[in-house]
Chain A
């Protein structure tokens, strides 16, 4: 087996397309999971169990079924009810939703880790509940959970190839297509392997830097 730089060069335009899709899925999926996870975590602290119960059951269900199954469900079943999105949108929503059931646990831990004295000080200053959350509790909780959220971003990155199952051509999708058309497997697969490392390693460095800045 010989390494063919020509194949690498031929793959590059396809690689760029795939990279763009992977990054889109990663960034949008992360944003959705960060926001939704926080929403779930807050709803789970609602005074009424008629809120906590359904949210708890639904997120438990999503967390305990495979992402691949959820992708298929959203992609093939929703259209039967006349709900259709593009494949990439469906994928991004599925990844974001799936991971939000993990990030909610992270937020929960972060919120619980804020000392009770902070709540008491807010009460003593007569701060309204909403302000207590936005100015006192969440800034401290989120600061604590950035490293854990970062781990899920890396995890999400490594799950983006699953999008191939619903016809989205991410990096792996492009590599596979190229390989099958040109009978050259080594070069494209190596290129995307390196690309995954080149994305995730700086991402984890960034998270560590952020952590050092935020955790006080």
Chain B
């Protein structure tokens, strides 16, 4: 992890061209446009995230933050532009030197590196907690049941739920469910963890437990985190870099200390004033 927390180029600038993917760059968006009907959510967006960095996306709702996570998780497709993860195209693949829309096999392979935690947890209610965490490692990574369970118990211990392995998700509080969801995502050993407003659906008194777990993970692992949140204190705590979004573009980016204490952009100032 380098000390320099800002990307090589100002991601908000237009016409940045197509710099080669260097070793430390893990995620790269090039001219990504996403429209929903006539509403352009992302407008020729360029930005990159270096490996091991913790990046927080902030900005008013509807500014396209969540869409970025959903594009990376392949839950939605870009209308234009390309996304690369670890140098590999996510929604395209190269065939005979040309970029063509990616086949299912290619998408699955690139997607292996990415995990996501959702606002609504999305645990599988038909499976006990332990099986929620072991299901994908067994069926996707091919781990043996014992191996997967041992790892799952370790992860559940880490999120403080080692004793709830045999509970069903609906028997847990929201905060506990979200911590299981975090363990479930980590069980796949992704390089990138996407966190989509993971505390927004929680009762206020349950938020702290979830954020503590994420702080731990941010500190103790070298996983790259991409986080959409309205918890500014948390953003300040864990991020190396904060990206301020407005109208589908990055209007400002930098280390949290600077963005939060001395924002350059008027919109950033307004936004921070409103959420504080």
Contact = CB atoms under 8 A, between A and B. Distances in A.
A144 to B, nearest CB: 11
B122 A120 contact: yes
Interface residues of B, number: 26
A128 B125 CA distance: 19
Given A120-B75, A131-B139, A216-B170, A126 B188 contact: yes
A125 B135 contact: yes
A124 B135 contact: no
A135 to B, nearest CB: 6
B139 A135 contact: yes
B118 interface: yes
B126 A127 contact: no
A192 interface: no
Contact of A117 (B112, B114, B122): B122
A7 interface: no
Question: From DSSP, what is the main secondary structure of chain B's interface residues?
Answer: loop
B82 interface: no
B53 interface: no
A160 interface: no
Given A216-B168, A216-B170, A126 B122 contact: no
Contacts of A33: none
Contact of A121 (B108, B111, B114, B118): B118
21 contacts: A115-B120, A115-B122, A118-B122, A120-B73, A120-B75, A121-B123, A123-B73, A123-B75, A123-B111, A124-B75, A124-B114, A124-B118, A125-B135, A125-B185, A125-B188, A126-B111, A127-B135, A128-B139, A135-B124, A140-B125, A143-B126
Interface of B: 73-75, 108, 111-112, 114-116, 118, 120, 122-127, 135-136, 139-140, 168, 170, 184-185, 188
What 6 A-B pairs have minimum CB-CB distances, sorted nearest first? A125-B136, A121-B122, A117-B122, A124-B116, A139-B126, A126-B140
Given A123-B111, A135-B127, 6 more contacts: A117-B120, A120-B122, A126-B108, A126-B111, A126-B188, A140-B124
